[in-house]
Structure 1
């Protein structure tokens, strides 16, 4: 879902300096949990990784479980041409499968990269899923990230932000039952209406955003929800962006508190925090290493120095990834025991986060993932 990397260029330089000094970082202890409210909980898939090597088995079993356990939504991404994430090339296909095995959870794309597609096809596919699910479809939309993905639409890369906004408006028009004009190969203009007609009269939309402050303002001004991750900013940066988002909604006459902020967090709940951290260490370090490598070659780095830093770490690379791991675990994840999870969730709720999208497919076995979600679901059963 990302449009950037886990760390800024300045972060990379500071971390490399710390590597030379031998610093490694540590997981900070959390306060004792209280009884404050927590965000809604959903599950998001992004990597397709697991020791069982069957991402669809994990996807289906997790979806069945969370549907019964009180979770809000299941998100599936759109990812292309990479082994990590390559199990998820089309969220509408996965959404159709999930629609027929669940009854309660929302079926969400996280995200549809609209500039890669004809919006008519997007409207058709997701209206079909809306029918199969009885009106449980939500979409997060994004401009696309990796330049390689745009082999599907090479002319769209430089214009991807503009194309996203155009396609988003057309998608909503089609969903409402308004036709769009298209020209056929013979030069004849047609008023085209998409079918099947959806169950929902209005399509709930999220904008996928991480780094850009302007995108948060735009989402607020246009009445979009936001799907985000702690990728290019800290929790304090997230709180600042949520404030700007709420202010933007109020400025255009929208209820500032009605917009939904959904935050993706890597999630594993164990019986002991130290044990949980060590349990995820191999999978998370491999995942983070892969993600950093993808960003370095994505064409999205705003700073040549950032890419050069990533590519020239050499013998320091393992230590660098370990430092990223400690930083990410301690500030940007839902990894630990249930008490720590509760405290983390309370903190994000206090910042204005409405939902947590729990990322679970980053390399653990299905058994570990299912036990983790069962522990986490106890917070929902208590009516938290």
Structure 2
């Protein structure tokens, strides 16, 4: 079956609604079926840019706020050896901090680059966070992407996809209480079980995926959730990938709608759309420029070629970044007023997105971020 023959996410959603209704007669009088729910909302930290604020102060204050306001999760990344994002080298440490200052939100990695680590340490660290949080841990895992990161484990770079899958399965075993075999310096084999034991009997897992269609299909077949971002493709391609993911789940005998698709979006909700766009223009363009610089040294040929092309634009570089900014804000972000935010979220929900992870640390001040999240929280209220 070709990808073109797959049901897209919109078709699946409509089919599911029809099955639920059982072709029942239309409601009498003025009664109408409820409008589709918006995606759940969480926050994600990725850049470590917070205006004049300390990035950790921003993390703490935002985590406290969203925990009270009804957001569903706080995501923290694993990033190494770069100024932008370098505030976040260890999501388990950050998750432990979030665990002790919150009561409700899920505490998530976005993501753990498993090939860089011994799975035993990952299991220990996150089981500790699971205990501190009372069982609120979820993990997104990834193969890693920047070749420089693999100075931590050079031998894993070429086979990082395979290592990711092997480590993921071993992590699940350890979490469930199944010992794994290891060899000590004397060559003696040991069955190792990690401690502390986690609160949750099973570890909810996301696979971080962007451009690769195969990774979306694999996530569906394996029953994994997906964390994604509109970095290397746009909304139309996202909808196609969600359709592939849902179809892969169905083929594997899994409920196609049960898998969670979490989408990272740069977020700023202002008093009006014009104010919001103008407020983020400077920080966003600077962020996009730094993102290009990182890709130029990533070790991935396609990303390097695109980055070098942009770097060679010289005087046209600012004009190009402005064009990218306008396109990104208009179709791939949660930037505008509350009305615009609702429309954007409804559009992504119709595509099959279950959650939006609001990226907030791209250069705005703490007060601006908190004000934005306060406005956005209106959409979390019942009946809003």
The verdict on a shared fold, with TM-score over 0.5 as the criterion, is yes
C-alpha distance in 1 between matches for 2:48 and 2:337:
24
- Structure 1 segments unaligned to the other structure (5+ residues): 1-33
Q: Give the conservation status (yes or no) of the 8 Å contact 2:107–2:137.
A: yes
Equivalent runs, 1:348-367 vs 2, <5 Å:
348-367=348-367
C-alpha distance in 2 between matches for 1:240 and 1:147:
29
C-alpha distance in 2 between matches for 1:303 and 1:345:
29
Alignment partner, residue 214 of structure 1: 214
C-alpha distance in 1 between matches for 2:191 and 2:130:
23
Alignment partner, residue 280 of structure 2: 280
Alignment partner, residue 131 of structure 1: 131
C-alpha distance in 2 between matches for 1:104 and 1:304:
41
C-alpha distance in 2 between matches for 1:368 and 1:178:
46
Structure 1 position 320, deviation (Å):
1.0
Aligned residues: 351
Structure 1 position 117, deviation (Å):
0.3
SS at match of 2:301: coil
C-alpha distance in 1 between matches for 2:150 and 2:303:
21
C-alpha distance in 2 between matches for 1:199 and 1:325:
43
- Structure 2 segments unaligned to the other structure (5+ residues): 1-33
Structure 1 position 383, deviation (Å):
4.4
Alignment partner, residue 178 of structure 2: 178
Structure 1 position 300, deviation (Å):
1.6
What does the per-residue CA deviation read over 1:341-383, in whole Å, with 9 as the maximum and x for residues that have no partner? 0000000001100000000000000000000000000110234
Q: Give the conservation status (yes or no) of the 8 Å contact 2:296–2:305.
A: no
Cα–Cα, structure 1 residues 337 and 169, in superposed 2: closer, same or farther, change >3 Å? same
Alignment partner, residue 81 of structure 2: 81
Equivalent runs, 1:26-45 vs 2, <5 Å:
35-45=35-45
Alignment partner, residue 65 of structure 2: 65
Structure 1 position 250, deviation (Å):
0.3
SS at match of 2:302: coil
C-alpha distance in 2 between matches for 1:313 and 1:296:
14
C-alpha distance in 1 between matches for 2:179 and 2:38:
42
Alignment partner, residue 168 of structure 1: 168
C-alpha distance in 1 between matches for 2:180 and 2:50:
43
CA RMSD of aligned residues (A): 1.2
Alignment partner, residue 311 of structure 2: 311
Structure 1 position 301, deviation (Å):
3.2
User: Is 2:250 aligned against 1:255?
Assistant: no
Q: Which has the higher contact order (CA 8 A, sep 6+)?
A: 1
Q: Give the conservation status (yes or no) of the 8 Å contact 2:50–2:362.
A: yes
Greater Cα offset, 265-274 or 316-325: 316-325
C-alpha distance in 2 between matches for 1:357 and 1:328:
16
What does the per-residue CA deviation read over 1:140-185, in whole Å, with 9 as the maximum and x for residues that have no partner? 0000011000000011111100100000000000000000100001
C-alpha distance in 1 between matches for 2:124 and 2:364:
35
Greater Cα offset, 35-44 or 196-205: 35-44
Q: Give the conservation status (yes or no) of the 8 Å contact 2:295–2:304.
A: no
Greater Cα offset, 146-155 or 311-320: 311-320
SS at match of 1:83: coil
What does the per-residue CA deviation read over 1:294-348, in whole Å, with 9 as the maximum and x for residues that have no partner? 1122112337642441231111111111111111101100000000000000000
Structure 1 position 35, deviation (Å):
4.9
Q: Give the conservation status (yes or no) of the 8 Å contact 1:295–1:301.
A: no
Structure 1 position 91, deviation (Å):
0.2
